[in-house]
Amino acid sequence: MSPRTHSSFFALLSRRVAAIGERWQSSLSTRTMIIIVVGGILGFVIAGAIVVSQIRGAVFNAALQTNIEQFSADATIAQDRFAQASSPTSGQLQQIANGVVSSMYDPTRGLIGSVLVRSDGQATPAVQILEPQVATSTQVRSLLTPELRAKTKAGDVSYMSVSVPGRDGDVAGLILGTAVNIPSAGQYELYAAYSLESQESLIRTTFRVLTFSVIALIVLLAFVSWLLMRLVLKPVQEASASAHQLAEGEFEARMEVRGTDELAQLARSFNLMAASLEDQFTRMERMSKVQTDFVSAVSHELRSPVTTIRMAGQLIYDKREELSPALRRSAELQHDQLRNLDMMLSDLLEISRYDAGGTSLATQPTDVGELARNVVEMAAPLAQDNDVEVSVTVEGDPHAEVEPRRIERVLRNLVVNALEHAEGNPVSVRIVGNESAVAAEVMDWGIGLDEDQAAHVFDRFWRADSSRVRKTGGTGLGLTIAKEDAQIHGGTLEATGVLGVGSTFLLTVPKVPHAHFVAPVALAAPEPLTGDLEPVEEEQ
């Protein structure tokens, strides 16, 4: 086998093993059937082994008892024949011995040979005879062992299990022996060999029948298990499919109720739950629509009076130098609050569009790095007021198919937020592009964020420090809208930080809206400052 064939074989084997493992993990019916079938096989094998062992023992004991009875009877007859001979000659004893041994050959009842052996340790008798044996393929004399002969000389009938020739090779057999006293010739031992081939055939037939029965029972068990799994798991699978439909928003999904058993109760309970969810979702959808319509209508209707008030306020603000100090301060406060109110109305209208699903993208090829530079340039007065140095770096290809207005709004929110919380420390804006996405990282070394604050920073109207006064006003909706702007492009907006060290906001958008992308930059909290951080020069 070549190395390439060897590696391909192991690769194929690993794929098959992985597929089996996946099937095992994902299918309850497969696991249940395999466990039932394997358990059934083990149970049948253990039970079959016990049954076969018991049958084998019973058959052997029955055959042994029968053969001992027959052998004892033959040995008694042989002893009587020797005892009836009065003053026998050597020839007469030899003839009787030959007749006794010849008579102990009957293959129909398993008796396949016999032999008459002179016992050891005797004085030379007056009459000597040769050891007769049956002329068969079974050499009984060669099967005798010293242990068996010692038992035989001790007294009663002795036996030993041996292998004897059969029709298809060696089979199990028995050697039975007993002591015989021959007048004038001394002590002899009579042995007979019995074949257990018929008993072995019976055991093989029994084992074969048991094997076929076990196979049939296993097949039946597998079929019954499959049928039960189908009856039990099919409603569960239907419930899973219906639950998936509910998760996808198809609240009309229902299960079919069959009968009155436990599975039917499951179906009824599921249908009741689905109906309740549909009713609650309908109410919540109606309330959400009413709320969205209300916010949108109020925001839209307030635009005109607010615009009128702003125009009047602007006139007062422009003439503030002609007013008394108290009225001048009131005009300035009015101007700032009217501007915040106008921003809030704009943000509420934008949020209501997102909630109503009425937003759409108008994309065009855009240099995100150029957008970042423009945002930093527009925020320069705020950076100067807060004594914050801002650096912009561009790495890789910053071009992407985006809606410039939305991405610029996200960057403006992130940069202004960083300037507000930098506490006079530097702010870094880094634009990184790869083949599939562009990332904008805004990092500050200010008051920072903890994990809980980072988890809520994009929530509506949420602020980490509600007592903090923002120089730019703010509505609490800026980061919420920024996250919506990122998601409408198919991108992400994330935040992390460390309290007392700083925070990082990372915007990642694909170069093609909603396309799969690999993030160019991983989200990471800023490291503590070890010295003065000089602004980094812009790079292209």
Is residue 32 packed enough to be buried (19+ CB in 10 Å), middle (13-18) or exposed (0-12)?
middle
Q: How far apart are CA 372 and CA 384, in angstroms?
A: 17
| Token couple for 221 | 């068990």
Stretch 77-94: mean pLDDT, rounded?
A: 79
Q: What is the DSSP string of 289-334?
A: HHHHHHHHHHHHHHHHHHHHHHHHHHHHHHTGGGS-HHHHHHHHHH
Evaluate the CA torsion angle 146, 151, 155, 157 in order and state its sign.
negative
Q: Cα(404)–Cα(385) distance, rounded to whole angstroms?
A: 27
Higher pLDDT pick, 113 / 491: 491
Of 367, 354, 439, 371, residue with least CA distance to 401:
367
What's residue 151's pLDDT?
A: 86
234: left (phi over 0), alpha (psi -120 to 50) or beta: alpha
Question: Who wins on pLDDT, 217 or 134?
Answer: 217
Is the entire prediction scored with pTM above 0.85? no
Mean pLDDT of 398-423: 90
One-letter amino acid for residue 238 of the chain: E
| Rounded percentage of the chain residues whose pLDDT exceeds 70 | 84
**In this structure, which amino acid lies at residue 305?**
P
Where does the pLDDT of residue 343 fall: very low under 50, low under 70, confident under 90, or very high at 90 and above?
low
Per 3-state DSSP, the chain is made up of helix, strand and coil in percentages (nearest 5) of 55, 15, 25
* Count of CB atoms situated within 10 Å of the CB of 149: 17
Q: How confident is the model at residue 473 (pLDDT cuts 50, 70, 90)?
A: very low
- How high is the pLDDT of residue 535? 41
In tens, the pLDDT along 277-298 reads: 778 877 877 776 666 666 666 6
Average pLDDT over residues 79-96: 79
Lowest mean pLDDT among 102-111, 266-275, 276-285, 303-312: 303-312
The string of pLDDT tens digits covering residues 523-535 is: 998 988 875 444 4
Mean pLDDT of 198-218: 86
- Looking at per-residue confidence, does 294 or 243 come out higher? 243
Give the mean model confidence (pLDDT) for residues 132-151: 76
Answer whether 88's CB lies under 8 Å from 236's CB: no
> Is-contact 343 475, C-beta < 8 A?
yes
Predicted local distance difference test score (pLDDT) of residue 485: 85
pLDDT of amino acid 60? 86
Please say if the pLDDT value at position 538 is more than 80. no
The two tokens of residue 371 are: 């957008």
Pairing of strands 427-433, 390-396: parallel
pLDDT at site 413: 87
Cα separation, 150 vs 148, whole angstroms: 5
pLDDT, tens digit, 9 for 90 and up, residues 368-406:
999 999 999 988 888 888 899 999 999 999 999 998 888
- Please state whether 186 falls in left (phi above 0), alpha (psi between -120 and 50) or beta: left
Residues 6+ apart with CB under 8 A from 98: 132
pLDDT of 108 higher than 70 = yes
For residue 45, list its beta bridge partners. Answer: none
Quick: pLDDT tens for 31-77. 777 888 888 888 888 888 888 888 888 888 888 888 888 888 888 88
Q: Most confidently modeled of 139-148, 438-447, 460-469? A: 438-447
Three-state secondary structure call for residue 90 = helix
Query: What residue ranges in 315-413 does DSSP mark as E strands?
Result: 364-367, 390-396, 399-402
3-state secondary structure of 402: strand
The pLDDT tens digits of the residues spanning 10-31 come to: 777 777 777 777 767 766 677 7
Q: What is the pLDDT of residue 348?
A: 61
- Residues 471-484, mean pLDDT to the nearest whole number: 69
Supply angle C-alpha 304, 405, 458, rounded to 5.
Answer: 85
Residue 109 confidence (pLDDT): 80
Instruction: Identify which has the larger pLDDT, 187 or 135.
Output: 187
133 pLDDT more than 70: no
Cβ proximity of 102 and 134 under 8 Å: yes
pLDDT at 469 over 50: no
Give yes or no for residue 305 having a pLDDT over 80: no
SS3 for 190-243 is EEEEEECHHHHHHHHHHHHHHHHHHHHHHHHHHHHHHHHHHHHHHHHHHHHHHH
Contacts of residue 303, defined as CB under 8 A and 6 or more positions apart, other chains included, come to 345
Average pLDDT score over residue span 332-336:
73
